[in-house]
Homo-oligomer: A and B are copies of this chain.
């Protein structure tokens, strides 16, 4: 048990969730190492949502609400940390949810599917290996997607995603929103809208904003998206990573 007054309580709780997910068999060893990288970057961000992330969260939400077909991509890490929030965001933005694992095994897919069921979400996509298609006919496990989901989506929200996969998604013409704590990662650098934040803070903010922005006109949302420069936003995000003596 981690005492509630521990100065790093929040961070340690997330670490416990990641370890539990590994023990339950749906998070790969590499997922744990990736979590550690995230911890370090979050630490350098001050473990708070930075100003530039609020901006890209706003644009990301607008983009999800404007989408003809949006899909939220899930893996072991984001399932472990934010399953309930992911389901809520999907429901509010009318997005589908699809499983995409870097180290895909039938067992991991099945455990994640069951976890989503446990939380009341029954229609998760990407579970049937035989029905997966290759985006742009790229013959790579990084290019697989379910026909009803990411394969035919116009907007995809990824978080803690592999750089190869993000690149394949953006090159295929889809609008990619990425949540990633490392502003220098290939995912952060290649996505259309990069949210440099911890998913446990970013997704609840997206949910709140989606509730409000649902009432806005499409034109208003389009303006938000058109006025946004991910390059500029990322450059400003980099400045928020500071070494505090």
Contact = CB atoms under 8 A, between A and B. Distances in A.
A53 to B, nearest CB: 16
Contacts of A19: 29-30, 33
A182 interface: yes
A244 B38 contact: no
Interface in A217-238: 235, 238
A200 interface: no
A37 interface: yes
B22 A184 contact: no
Secondary structure dominating the interface of A? helix
A18 interface: yes
Interface in A127-172: none
Contacts of A39: 33, 36-37, 40
Interface in A17-73: 18-19, 22-23, 29-30, 32-41, 43-44
Chain B CB count within 10 A is highest, among A19, A23, A239, for A19
A40 B34 CA distance: 9
A29 B30 contact: no
Contacts of A41: 40
A205 interface: no
Contacts of A29: 18-19, 22-23, 32
Contacts of A244: 184
With a 10 A CB-CB cut-off, give which of A40, A44, A182, A241 has the most chain B CB atoms.
Answer: A40
A243 interface: yes
A15 interface: yes
Given A32-B36, A36-B37, A243 B245 contact: no
B36 A33 contact: yes
13 contacts: A15-B33, A18-B29, A19-B30, A29-B32, A32-B32, A32-B36, A36-B36, A36-B38, A36-B39, A37-B39, A40-B41, A184-B244, A238-B243
